[in-house]
Amino acid sequence: MRTQVHFGKANADPKPAVRVPRSAGFTLIELMIAMTVFLVIGAAAMSLFKQHASLFNDQQYQIGLNVSLRNALSQMEADVVNAGTGWYNATSNISSWPIGITVVNNTLGGAACHVAGSPTYNAPCFDQLNIIAPDPNTPPGQVYVAPGTPGCTTPVLTTGGTMTIAPVAPVTAAQLVAGFTNGSQVLFIHVGTSGTLMTTAILTANAAAAGANVALTYGATNANGTNNAAPVNDRLNLTLAANVDPVLIPTTLTDSFCSGTDWVVKVAPISYSVDTAIDPAGPTLVRTENGVENAIASQIIGFKVGAATVVLNGGGAVTGSSAAYCYNSGSTTAPCYDNQFDEVRSIRISLIGRTPPKLYSNSNVNSTTLFTNTFDGQPYKIQALSIIVNPRNLSMND
């Protein structure tokens, strides 16, 4: 009897199941809460950033205004300090005419300058400062009366509107012709024993060669050396008849010039004024030299020039001085000087500027920055700077 043996795999126990842990994460409620917190914090941060951005822009505009005013005053100081340098001062110990500067004060003020409650500032708000300097590119010519013998036997009169001038070596006639051009303002200077006498005119044609000499044509003056037309014949307010103190006519102004001793000088005047036509909403301080106007500061709402003076006796000695500054050059009331610019010894220049309008608002309409100044009740910031300058040729001639 055979025994059967069965070969096969024995039944094994099944392996236990492995539990996989659930992935970590936010529930919908947790996500909504986190987003809400983030939005609240983000909104607060943006609000804070916006406030600081506005403050930063405000500071930048004020810094820019301050730098603009300082640069403008520095430019004027450089010009005024050198006013009148290069002039022959004859034998007098006081400043001779031309004395380097003239001031045109605007005294209207009030509503003519600025209407209350308005951001508009008009021409009567602003003065004008003129710096009188010789043209460094044009040599002077000497008055010439045929046959050229020096002396005053037959002087030439500026009432005639023409004059012949001679070059003095190494200057050539061609240099004079090239320099004395139509529209140039010139000074006729008579060299006397006690100082200089002068008048001024503007050329009405280019200079022309006249043999070895040069012929000038200009607007004729009055018989006493004054001019009736400004700025047609006197852009610098030197000899305008309506402004000239009668005291100056025999002592400073003349229409008579001598051959071989007297001179004709082309001036390169520098004028500072405020132009309200460039931008009616933003008056612009301009510097004009040789008829070329350049803007040096915008948004100027005040430009005033005052002068401190000395009092001279008949011999030119200083008998007193003013501690105050005069802002009406045509007034005779002390400390003013009735346009006698030879009495000026220092000037005070004041500038008032503002930040650009529409940066701020004094209401909640279309503006996030509210501001109202106490100067004119308008929504812009204001700065004012002043400087006192002693023109070199004036302060060193006492």
pLDDT tens-digit map of 267-285: 888 999 999 888 878 899 9
Residue 398: pLDDT band (50, 70, 90) is very low
Q: Which domain holds residue 199?
A: 141-266
Higher pLDDT, 47 or 200: 200
pLDDT of 392: 63
Residues 75 and 191 in one domain: no
**Does residue 247 lie within any of the structural domains?**
yes
The answer on 169 and 100 residing in a single domain is no
Q: Are 160 and 220 in contact (CB under 8 A)?
A: yes
- From 249, 266, 283, give the residue that closes a domain: 266
Q: Please tell me whether residues 179 and 254 are part of one structural domain.
A: yes
Q: Which residues lie across from 130 on neighbouring strands?
A: 102, 271
Based on the domain organization, do 85 and 146 belong to the same domain?
A: no
For residue range 195-219, list pLDDT tens digits in order: 678 899 999 999 999 999 999 999 9
* 122-133 residue pLDDT tens: 888 999 999 888
Q: How far apart are CA 324 and CA 117, in angstroms?
A: 32
Report the pLDDT value the prediction gives residue 34, as an integer from 0 to 100.
81
3-state secondary structure of 5: coil
Give the lowest-confidence range in 15-24, 135-144, 331-340, 354-363.
Answer: 15-24
Q: Within this chain, do residues 85 and 174 fall inside the same structural domain, yes or no?
A: no
Flag whether 379 is in a domain. yes
**Total domain count, the chain:** 2
Residues 130-165 as b or e (16 or more Cβ within 10 Å = b): bbbbbbeebbbbbbbbeeeeeeeeebbebeeeebbb
Percent of all residues in the chain with a pLDDT value above 70, rounded to a whole number: 79
- The answer to whether position 127 is within a domain reads yes
Render pLDDT for 302-360 as a digit per residue (tens, 0 to 9): 999 999 887 654 445 555 566 789 999 888 887 888 888 878 888 999 999 998 877 77
* 24 within a domain of the structure (yes/no): no
For residue 233, being part of any structural domain is answered with yes
pLDDT for res 160 = 93
Domain identity same for 122 and 192: no
Task: Record the pTM.
Answer: 0.75
pLDDT per position as a tens digit, 144-167: 998 888 888 889 999 999 999 999
Q: For 217-274, what is each residue's pLDDT tens digit?
A: 999 999 999 998 877 888 887 888 887 877 777 778 899 999 998 999 998 889 999 9
The last residue of a domain, from among 221, 246, 266:
266
* Residue 51 located in a structural domain: no
Are 374 and 316 part of one and the same domain?
yes
The reply to whether 255 falls in a domain is yes
pLDDT at 391: 75
How far apart are alpha carbons 208 and 215 in whole angstroms?
5
- Are residues 122 and 87 part of one domain? yes
Q: In this structure, are residues 114 and 125 in contact, taking their beta carbons and an 8 Å threshold?
A: yes
Is 150 in the same domain as 96? no
Helices (H), 82-144: 110-113
Same domain, 145 and 262: yes
| Domain C-terminal end among 244, 266, 288 | 266
In a domain, 273, yes or no: no
300 pLDDT more than 70: yes
Residues 204, 249 within the same domain? yes
Does one domain contain both 105 and 83? Answer: yes
Closest to 80 in 3D by CA, of 52, 56, 101: 101
User: Which tokens hold the place of 382?
Assistant: 């204001």
